[in-house]
Amino acid sequence: MDKNALQQSILLALRAPQISSNSQFDTSTGFSCGRRVGCDFYWLGGLFDLPDPLPGTAYLSKFPGMSEAAHKVEFTRLMNRMKHLFPSEYSFYPKSWILPDQYSELVGHVGKHKGKVYIIKPDLGSQGDGIYLMTNPYDVHFSPLLAKPCIVQEYISNPLLLEKFKFDLRIYVLVKCLDPLEIYVCREGMGRFCTEVYRPPSQKNLHRCYMHLTNYSLNKYSSSYVQSDDDDKGSKRKLSCVFKQLQSNGCNIETLWTDIDFIICRTIIAFMPNLLIEDQIVTLDLKQKLRCFQVLGFDILIDEDFKPILLEVNSSPSLKIDHEEETSPGKVEYFLSTTDMEIKLPIIVDAMRLVHQYKASLNGGLVKLTKHVQNLFPRAEGASPSSPQTFGCLHQIYPKLSKHTDYLRILERFLKLFRHFVGVRPSSRMGPTSFRIMARRCKLTDFGFTLAALDILYINMSRRYSDTDSGRASLDFNGFYESLLAIGQRRLAPQGREPISVLRYVLRHCEMHLEKPAKRCRPQAFARSPRSPLLSIRRQLSSSFMLVSSPEHSKDIITL
């Protein structure tokens, strides 16, 4: 099967709504095979859903845990955690709060910064559903939205405009594998435009979603929406065309791409602890290592200073290549969108060819391809067996940028510590016994805590990061991280240490003690205490006489 056959197979799947959410592809035939067993690719829907039977050596188009990590609340928690440790490196994500947990912090911030506008996003919302703008946090306090988790972000009120319209960029990213981490970005993406001329937010226009929200799913219902396949027209345009317009306005596109590449790498690094935990759980539960890859959609806004700002990450970006039109009153028909097809089809084709041609072994590294697979996916003559830096429309950004970003992966070292004491079991939470063992083994009492105080800290953190599925106290990785940070700050915060410095100190302390062999507890606890004369006499007498049990010899037993 050549590239054209694969492209036709994917094109059929993308245009067939009944199989577009969960499709399988057989590289021996080149056609979408529905739910047939023995395919090479399983294209999953919105959530990670294992096929039945298990796919064996086939590829799944999602990583376990990625959909949950991209939910707005969890995503904000991950980004805020990294921003707390590396403020300058993660300044690309707007200041955000999780409600209802951080409502008091939001009120305090609004009190100090009068006149700012905020945007509300429900946790599980999609396609612009439930999003609105506000200036007064008390509007949220009495809102029914607080019945469910949501986030509040500072609204970017100075976006870069094209033709007086606000727009954002949809950047497509391929995570080829997690171990080792490989990330590719597609240099062709999409520019999504609002359908009303932009005005700075005010009480009079906060409700105008066609002015402030760039979501295609919203703007396509606007009477001003323009469907066009021309390069410089339409409410949805190719990224390359948008960048040409930006370049003519004085934007340095090379610098902009560099900034976007760093945003993508740093964001995936923030995801890594969650993804590695879920991957381990699935592997232990299934007793099988899965081959996964995933295409993500990064929504990036550019401000008037040409600075890219990350709005959110979509774990299931829309891959539709058609658009709907009302041909007559009450009748809607679907037509192929040339713009969507030219953007999305190469991404899927090149992603599948890349992961199949340069497949990672289940134990890490690359496997040698069979002659059959080499014929299906021919490699250029003289090409290296390692993953290429450029493959079709995909360009590698990690590990290419690893020397500039690997210092951010400190939480993965904490994950190894977490795994060490959780043990080899399919669980993402640490129980109280494991926490006590860690406290003793890593000498956490050196930070000014007694064992009883550490037990109290564990209880408080387990309540904050409670597991709703079970009533037992346990810590997830977020609670584990917060616990060790609190332990380190007890001793080092008064010295003016930054959080990242505290975290590194605690980590080195724990790793140093784990490298030492564990000491066995002595059965005689009194061996360390000063000896008393009576104790010495007792030992001598007990070693001089044998303990007998017969009644007639009981008189020979000496009792002290």
Q: Residue 53: is the preceding peptide bond cis (ω within 30°)?
A: yes
Determine phi and psi for 413, rounding to 5 degrees: -70, -35
Q: What is the pLDDT of residue 366?
A: 46
Q: What is the pLDDT of residue 198?
A: 95
**Residues in CB range of 266: below 8 A, 6 or more apart:** 82, 89, 90, 92, 405, 408
Name the DSSP letter for residue 251: -
Q: How far is CA 490 from the centre of its chain?
A: 29
Q: Could you tell me the sign of the dihedral formed by the alpha carbons of 231, 236, 242, 246, in that order?
A: positive
Residue matched to tokens 């959110």: 312
Task: Show the domains of the chain with their CATH numbers.
Answer: 95-155 (3.30.1490), 409-514 (1.10.238.10)
Q: Residue 399: is the preceding peptide bond cis (ω within 30°)?
A: yes
What is the token pair recorded at 547?
Answer: 């303990």
Q: What angle do CA 264, 349, 399 make, to 5 degrees?
A: 35
DSSP letter for each residue of 364-381? SSBPPPPHHHHHHSPPPT
In angstroms, the CA 357 to CA 379 distance is 8
Q: What is the pLDDT of residue 505?
A: 95
pTM for the full predicted model: 0.83
Q: Which residues pair with 237 in a beta bridge?
A: 191
Cα atoms found within 13 Å of the Cα of residue 544, Cβ hemisphere only: 10
* Residue pLDDT tens, the chain, 560 long: 456 666 666 665 555 543 344 556 555 544 455 555 567 888 887 777 777 767 777 889 999 999 999 999 999 999 999 999 999 999 999 999 998 889 889 989 988 888 899 999 988 777 777 788 988 877 766 566 567 889 999 999 999 999 999 999 999 999 999 989 999 999 999 999 999 999 999 989 988 999 999 998 888 888 888 888 777 788 999 999 999 999 999 999 999 999 999 999 999 999 999 999 999 998 888 888 889 999 999 999 999 999 999 999 999 998 888 877 777 787 778 888 889 899 999 999 999 999 988 775 555 444 444 443 344 334 433 333 578 999 999 999 999 999 999 999 999 999 999 999 988 777 788 999 999 999 999 999 999 999 999 999 999 998 887 765 556 778 999 999 999 999 999 888 777 889 999 999 999 999 999 988 766 555 444 444 444 444 444 444 444 434 333 444 444 433 33
In angstroms, the CA 341 to CA 146 distance is 40
Cβ neighbourhood burial of 143 (10 Å; 0-12, 13-18, 19+): middle
In angstroms, the CA 195 to CA 192 distance is 10
Q: What is the pLDDT of residue 137?
A: 74
Q: How many helices (H) and strands (E) does the chain have?
A: 18, 20
Nearest to 489 by CA among 474, 473, 477, 500: 500
In angstroms, the CA 526 to CA 470 distance is 42
